[in-house]
Structure 1
Amino acid sequence: MKTCSACFRLFSQDSGFCPVDGQRLIPVAQASPPRHPDDRRVGATLCGGRYQVWRIVADGGMGRVYQALDLQAGRSVALKILHPEVALDEVSVERFHREFEVSASLPHEHIVEVLGFEKTEDDSFALVMEYLEGEELRTVLKRDKVLPPERLVRMLSQVALGLVEAHERKVVHRDLKPDNIFLVGTHDGDRVKILDFGSVRDNSEGAKKLTVVGTTIGSPFYMSPEQAQGLLALDHRADVWSVAAIVFECVTGRVPFHASTGPMILVSIMGSNPLPPSEAGKAYGAPASLDPVMEAAFMKSPEARLPSVGLLADRVGQAYGLAGSHRDWAHMPQKELAARIRAAMPAVLARHQHGSASAGAAPAGAERPPIAAVAAPSPGATDAFAEDIVMGVPQRLPRWVVPALASAAVLLCALVALLIAR
């Protein structure tokens, strides 16, 4: 192994120069890891002397990630070590250990490889993983706002391949978001790695449950309605919703559901419909052919939703005019995908426009029907109609609520005044 004397990244023996700093690399045997004034782990050797820590890579809510040298295997690894306060929580430690168990049981080229689970000398716990050089999808979106279609299709196809085995085993990731999609650059395009299986729901028979009934797990912007409610009946179709939310953001530059607080985001998810991608992403040229795909992926009822991430990937690719399936596109060179999409899109858009005109589609900006069908209102309920209630949460308050609350407030004030007068 070699290292850079400026940034202390670790590289393979055949590397010559650091791509970040341009420095000539030197063998690790001729260098010493640096020390960090605020982190005694940097420069130390952990887990019984096996892992030599060279630098801090990232910080998260659960722990800190380091790049380390595995002195036994002679390779670079990532150590994800729990923060001290998190390491004191038994449930958090159990989730961390389950991340190791689930990831280790799902070896796949598009899931990060997990190598070990260790106790550290400072009474914390470390997850040992393959070290990846690249960037999270979140970083790309912050910089570029959206992805070009060819990059989106290739990435989504690889995500679908990575999730298929987990879903077949009844394992739900439950925290899919741009932060957990890692992109490793190659000559042909991104190589995708799915990260962080610490929030999984294992629906297999006899699996241990770590989530209290009614608890919501996941990131609000990418959470399905059934996740938002903490329902027991939650399966792989919750991941379909989350991946659809990622796709929506990749083509529009914005999340499909937004509000100022976490609870309000969840209310929005359960009680409203997102804009069509062609409208929300008009500035970025999101095609109208994606609109029905997203509508099918954002169905409130899991039974009505697209049934798999693979089918979602197929529908997205077809919306860009591609023939075949996600298995064909996952490793197709990005340049070839771009050429195929450019050649096919004029015909796709023409067909979509013709189909919309034939169906008498409502003009842009017109109110759309609700995505999810719900029970009809009871007889005489003239102020309520189907789209008022979705998944048991009102989309808007019935007209009688405000007057009733106002009357109650007046009565309460009168009662308080009476008590004070006495």
Structure 2
Amino acid sequence: MSRPSDRIVGSTIDGRYVIQKVLGEGGMGVVYLARHALIDKLVALKALRSDLSSDKEITTRFLNEAQAASRIGSPHIVDISDFGVLPGGSAYFVMEYLRGESLADRQARLGVFSVRGTIHIGKQVAQALAAAHDAGIVHRDMKPDNVMLIDRGGDPDFVKVLDFGIAKVNSQATRLTRAGSVFGTPQYMSPEQAAGVPVDHRSDIYALGIMLYEMLKGGVPFTGDNVMNILSHHMFHPPPPLRDGSRSDLPPELESIVMKCLAKKASERYISMGELLADLDAFERGLPPMATHELLADRNRFMAPPTSFPSGPRPVTATVRTLPRIAGGRLPWVLGGAATLLVAALAVTLVVVRSQRQKEALAAAAASAAAASSTPSAPTTATPSGPAVRLVVVKVKPETALVTFVGGPLDGSQRAVRNGQVQVEVAEGHPVKLRVAADRFVEQNIAVQASDEGLSVDLRPVSGGAPT
């Protein structure tokens, strides 16, 4: 029996795209393998499902995917080359055809990844999302199904990020997300996404943290019998430690990076993908990541109090609208406002009865990092040698400033000012150059030596004064 999606197989669209077969079906569209008749090149053509083509908002969201992906301009984002309308009235767009396997399929095949493999893939995903964030785009549905691993440039695990179908584009004039709605895939939703409150780029950082956790551990941190249970765990329960059971060999420094990504409060996560990349780079070089210092300073730092999210009125009956499953993939969800209220009410109840064992889970990660700091154990990727490395504290005013590394292996990466200071790893004899900048202040460049103590930067307001 033929499917509705098979109807255009064998036809030629707009005189140039010969449809060969169906590659897969998703929540809003069907992806076809097509051949460009004029240049004899295989492409992937994604068409809006015919039963959704009359819905103006869905059509706008579908085209948003093409516009969002095409404006980013990253080698790690799928390339969009054309768009149009099928004879039946459904919108479509054309993208590069990728030969490879999804990260989800690789995960199912391998179970767990090596530390080196996890970082190699994770850094590329972070680079893709950093480019998207720089373009004002938040993906909002990052998961292994939306990452393709292809062979390109001699790299058999070259990353391509797909599916910007529910991306949040800051510049769009019309708000496509209905108030109180929850978009995404439950296993990878950030706490604020699960609560139905506004999200920003730090929601993608959380989702990438879930993916890193899954690659290292072989499973996501939060599972449940139903969607509400999973979402409430994202909002209020600490993730189980990475370094137990079969993965007790994992470096505590790497665990601290993942746990920082998974902080309940968005403000406690990395301020940007660039900052996360800087920590991953530091780990690869055998230097202590910023996340390790933060976890040592406060073992409960990454657990948010229940007041982080609105509890809402009493629980009401929830109506959950599901989107069709992509073959082999996890189910994305769209929850109405009533479901959001129920999630919040359930979560408040759950947090009251949270067990001491769950509180101790994150403390275990801090204890592991503390032990590692007293008895150093280098990451498995490399054991550093050469000059001693010292952590230098730089006091910075104003606190809104961003500190950017200039030159060296961390060139271009940024660190946020937290509690009026930043921490910089400096090797003896190898000063680190930094640029400190803030809106409406005169930026300043400094060189930090390993021997520096009491270093401070106080930016001078530009003419007209500092913002009030």
Answering whether residue 164 of structure 2 is matched by residue 197 of structure 1, we say yes
AA aligned to 1:288 is P
Query: Could you say which residue in structure 1 is the equivalent of 2:118?
Result: 152
Mapped to 2, the partners of 1:192 and 1:179 lie a distance apart of 12
Using the TM superposition, give the Cα deviation of residue 263 of structure 1 relative to its aligned residue in structure 2, in angstroms.
1.4
- Answer yes or no: is 1:296 the counterpart of 2:256: no
Unaligned stretches of 5+ residues in structure 2: 308-342, 354-468
Does structure 2 retain, via aligned residues, the 8 Å contact 1:153–1:317?
A: no
- The alignment status of 1:181 with 2:147, answered yes or no, reads yes
Question: Which residue of the partner structure matches residue 217 of structure 2?
Answer: 252
Match of 1:23 in 2: none
Secondary structure, aligned partner of 1:217: strand
Question: What is the one-letter code of the residue matched to 2:214?
Answer: E
Aligned counterpart, 2:71: 105
Q: Report the identity percentage.
A: 33
RMSD: 3.0
Secondary structure, counterpart of 1:259 in structure 2:
coil
- TM-superposed deviation, 1:370: 6.7
Distance of 1:259 and 1:315 partners within structure 2: 31
Structure with greater proportional strand content = 2
Name the CA shift for 1:182/1:95 in 2 (closer, same or farther; >3 Å).
Answer: same
In structure 2, the partner of 1:209 is: 175
User: What do residues 319-361 of structure 1 show as CA deviations (whole Å, max 9, x unaligned)?
Assistant: 4xx12xxxxxxxxxxxxxxxxxxxx6xx99xxx9xx9xxx799
| Worse-superposed segment, 269-278 or 151-160 | 151-160
> Hey, what's the Cα distance between the residues in 2 that align with 1:77 and 1:286?
41
Task: Give the partner amino acid of 2:244.
Answer: E
Structure-to-structure mapping, 1:3-402, within 5 angstroms: 37-38=2-3, 39-46=6-13, 48-186=14-152, 187-204=154-171, 207-232=173-198, 234-279=199-244, 282=247, 285-319=249-283, 322-323=284-285, 369=300, 371-374=302-305, 393-394=347-348, 396=350, 398=352
C-alpha separation in 2, matches of 1:52 and 1:280: 52
Structure 1 residues 98 and 281: CA distance shift in structure 2, 3 A: farther
Q: Equivalent residue for 2:365?
A: none
Q: What SS does the corresponding residue of 1:396 show, helix, strand or coil?
A: helix
Q: TM-score, normalised by structure 2?
A: 0.61
Alignment partners' CA distance in 1, 2:97 and 2:220: 29
1:280/1:185 CA distance change after superposition, 3 Å: farther
Deviations 1:352-389 (A, max 9, x none): 9xx9xxx799xxxxxx747334389xxxxxxxxxxxxx
Q: In 2, Cα distance between the equivalents of 1:238 and 1:55? A: 35
User: CA separation in 2, counterparts of 1:225 and 1:318?
Assistant: 27
CA contact (8 A) 1:116 1:128 kept: yes
- Alignment partners' CA distance in 2, 1:114 and 1:88: 23
Where does residue 20 of structure 1 map in the other structure? Answer: none
What is the letter of the counterpart of residue 77 of structure 1? V
One-letter code aligned to 1:372: M
Following superposition, the deviation at residue 398 of structure 1 comes to: 5.0
**Structure 1 counterpart of 2:302, one-letter code:** I
* CA gap 1:208/1:257 in 2 versus in 1, 3 angstroms: same
Equivalent-residue separation in structure 2 for 1:221 and 1:394 (angstroms): 19
User: Does structure 1 conserve the Cα–Cα contact (< 8 Å) formed by 2:22 and 2:32?
Assistant: yes
- Contact 2:209/2:262 (CA < 8 Å) preserved in 1? yes
Offset at 1:395?
Answer: 5.7
Distance 1:211 1:37 in 2: 34
Q: Quick check: 91-100 or 206-215, which moved more? A: 206-215
Change over 3 Å in CA distance of 1:76–1:135 after alignment to 2: same
SS at match of 2:150: strand
User: Which of the two has greater helix per residue?
Assistant: 1
**Cα distance between partner residues in 2 of 1:277 and 1:267:** 20
CA distance in 1, matches of 2:46, 2:269: 35
Secondary structure of the corresponding residue to residue 79 of structure 1: strand
Deviation at 1:286? 3.2
The alignment covers a number of residue pairs equal to 311
* Contact 2:238/2:303, CA 8 A, preserved across alignment: no
Helix, strand or coil for the counterpart of 1:278? coil
- Structure 1 unpaired stretches of 5+: 1-35, 324-343, 362-367, 377-389, 400-422
Matched letter for residue 105 of structure 1? R
Displacement of 1:312 in angstroms is 2.3
